[in-house]
Chains A and B, each alone.
Chain A
Amino acid sequence: GDSVTQMEGPVTLSEEAFLTINCTYTATGYPSLFWYVQYPGEGLQLLLKATKADDKGSNKGFEATYRKETTSFHLEKGSVQVSDSAVYFCALSGAGANSKLTFGKGITLSVRP
């Protein structure tokens, strides 16, 4: 079945540092790929998405590129802020009528001032 693997956490960075969070996936067909963010005590918010190979999703300074050849969708940000502290989830959804999301385990990012 479909699966998503995220790098182990937690990750602690200083403000303005460069961020990379690795994500790889296993899926049949051509899934859509997502990054969701969860702030403390809140539900999930969509951060960015890509629906086909070589697409780049971007939002709030975060970027991720859909790499079919390496089945990866790594999240990057050039300069993190304290307000980026949250849990980040990589996810995929299959094609067709059942658009369920399959999530990775998530990784906690803490940004120090």
Chain B
Amino acid sequence: ETGVTQSPTHLIKTRGQQVTLRCSSQSGHNTVSWYQQALGQGPQFIFQYYREEENGRGNFPPRFSGLQFPNYSSELNVNALELDDSALYLCASSSLSRSDTEAFFGQGTRLTVV
């Protein structure tokens, strides 16, 4: 077990709604990255937060936004949900301050948009 926890584990939303997903990072880590994993695909990088600032973003529209809090936990917010947003959302915790940048993943949140 990695110590990275995500909530909720499963979620069903209607198209057009908004959703917030949460991630608690591993103790001692200051960086959180979010990934979207569509069915049968590899995870795709959404964005990364380092010390409460966005530190890189993948090819996702602005309706995907995030926050990182002083305790390094993080939220992913998605507005105006679309059917294609249905996926497993993974959070990864790491530390950019250390030479070993291994990322530890949570179990994910399965989002279904209907």
Contact = CB atoms under 8 A, between A and B. Distances in A.
Interface of A: 4, 32, 36, 42-46, 49, 89, 91, 93, 97-106
Interface in B56-111: 56, 58, 90, 92, 94, 96, 101-108
Given A46-B102, A93-B101, 7 more contacts: A43-B4, A44-B90, A89-B42, A97-B96, A98-B48, A101-B33, A106-B40
B61 to A, nearest CB: 18
Interface in B20-37: 31, 33, 35
Contacts of B44: 103
Identify whether the interface residues of A are mostly helix, strand, loop, or mixed.
Answer: strand
A104 B105 contact: no
Contacts of B103: 46, 99, 101
B48 A44 contact: no
A46 to B, nearest CB: 6
Contacts of B41: 105-106
A44 B105 contact: yes
A43 B94 CA distance: 15
Contacts of A43: 2, 4, 90, 105-108
Contacts of B35: 101
B96 A44 contact: no
Contacts of A98: 48, 55-56
A43 B107 CA distance: 4
A74 B44 CA distance: 21
A99 B96 contact: yes
